Amino acid sequence: MRELPVVELVDRAREGQPRAVARLISLVEAASPSSRSVAAALAPFTGRALVIGLTGSPGVGKSTTTSALVGAYRALGRKVGVLAVDPSSPFSGGALLGDRVRMGEHAGDPGVFIRSMATRGHLGGLAVATPQALRVLDAAGFDVVLVETVGVGQSEVDIMRLADCAVVLVAPGMGDGIQAAKAGILEIADVFVVNKADRDGAETTVRELRHAISLGRREIRGASWRQPVVPAVAPRGEGISALVEAIDEHHAWGLAHGGFERRRLARARAEISAIAVAAVRVRIERFQGELLDRLAAEVGAGTVDPYRAADDLIGASGESAPPQG
């Protein structure tokens, strides 16, 4: 494709041209110099999509559930975007191919856009790229954006915090329910799915989770959201309408109690600081190499302490630097 100006790409994306959507995501993903103008051009059209994050251990059924949700939302007439974020497999290998195959039933549906995030060489990585890709899909008019991430690590937790609704999947056995509670997953989950409910032990897992939830209930302004636990058999579509309902209820609850608004502000805050941190890193790596070398020599020689050196490097005043004690 001839390289179009960013505003033209944004116009085309908003008209529903998938190639323009894909191109814009590539631009923000690569942290290309035009990321800035992409973000500026998108800004007026963002804020409408409902972002749903799905996380859980590999093999728990995230892709299958995502695909089933795409079908459910399409049946409701909503346009659906999917971002598959998997930092553990930056090269498009088997897992992504599997996802493509599973998503095959939605291929050719103009109301569905599916994309795997690549993060190779991206300064700031997923923390910067994912929210920008969400903005592209949001501005392009996708009513619902599903973000599939591999659970466990901090960056996945960060990504789940970007979502309006965080869905955590567990499967029976494997102590997954208890694992989830331990790993602090309980804190980020808005809705639980016990997938593979066709397997032994599903009822136990549901019970364990409900018990853990009753102990760790969250309170927001005196109202509490009790995370629902939805049993599902994703390949058969079982439990998917209950999941859609649970997501709807969470959305309505968030709108009524301010949780939705707070989440959106937290997302914007995370987005800004991820960009700022990446910018500082770029500045240091590209433009302050000599200063860094000199400071390193001084710290090595013991003539300057590393906090002081870091202050010099970022040009910060002593007050805004971390405590030196």
Ligand X SMILES: Nc1nc2c(ncn2[C@@H]2O[C@H](COP(=O)(O)OP(=O)(O)O)[C@@H](O)[C@H]2O)c(=O)[nH]1
Site residues (CB under 5 A) for Mg ion? 62-63
| Rounded Cα–Cα distance for residues 10 and 231 (Å) | 40
277: buried, middle or exposed (CB in 10 Å: 19+, 13-18, 0-12)? middle
Instruction: Report the residue from 115, 196, 250, 263 that binds ligand X according to the rule CB under 6 A.
Output: 196
Give the alpha-carbon dihedral of 187, 123, 149, 59, to 10 degrees.
-120
Q: Which is nearer to ligand X, 50 or 234 (CB)?
A: 234
CB of 231 to ligand X, least distance (A): 9
Up-side HSE of residue 62: CA atoms within 13 Å toward CB? 26
Between CA 71 and CA 65 the distance in angstroms is: 10
Q: Report d(CA 115, CA 113) in Å as an integer.
A: 7
Decide if residue 132 touches ligand X (CB under 6 A): no
Smallest gap from Cβ 102 to ligand X, in A, equals 6
Q: Would you give the binding string for ligand X spanning residues 205-234, x where CB under 6 A is met?
A: ----------------------------xx
- What, of Mg ion, ligand X, none, does residue 195 touch, CB below 5 to 8 Å by kind? ligand X
How far apart CA 18 and CA 16 sit, in angstroms, is 6
- Nearest to ligand X of 130, 195 (CB atom): 195
What are 24's two structure tokens? 């814009």
Count the Cβ atoms, other than its own, within 10 Å of residue 164: 22
Residue with nearest beta carbon to Mg ion = 63
Size of the site for ligand X (CB under 6 A): 16
Closest approach of Cβ 239 to ligand X, in Å?
Answer: 8
Instruction: Among 12, 23, 62, 79, indicate the residue that binds ligand X (CB under 6 A).
Output: 62
Distances (CA, A) of 80 to 165, 213, 278, 299: 15, 30, 30, 53
61 versus 254: smaller Cβ distance to ligand X: 61
**Segment 231-270, which members bind ligand X (CB under 6 A)?**
233-235
198 lies in the binding site for ligand X (CB under 6 A):
yes
Interaction between residue 69 and ligand X (CB under 6 A): no
Under rule CB under 6 A, residue 195 binds ligand X: yes
The values of phi and psi at residue 193, to 5°, are: -120, 125
Q: How far is the CB of 141 from Mg ion (least distance, A)?
A: 25
Does residue 58 interact with ligand X by CB under 6 A?
yes
Q: Does 11 bind ligand X (CB under 6 A)?
A: no
112-116 β-sheet, strand order: 112-116, 80-85, 144-149, 50-55, 165-170, 191-194, 229-231
Map residue 304 onto helix, strand or coil: coil
Q: Which is nearer to ligand X, 181 or 232 (CB)?
A: 232
Indicate whether 61 belongs to the interface with ligand X (CB under 6 A): yes
- The residue among 251, 193, 242, 252 whose CA lies nearest residue 62 is 193
Q: Is residue 104 involved in binding ligand X (CB under 6 A)?
A: no
Question: Which residues would be at the binding site for ligand X (CB under 6 A)?
Answer: 56, 58-64, 98, 195-196, 198-199, 233-235
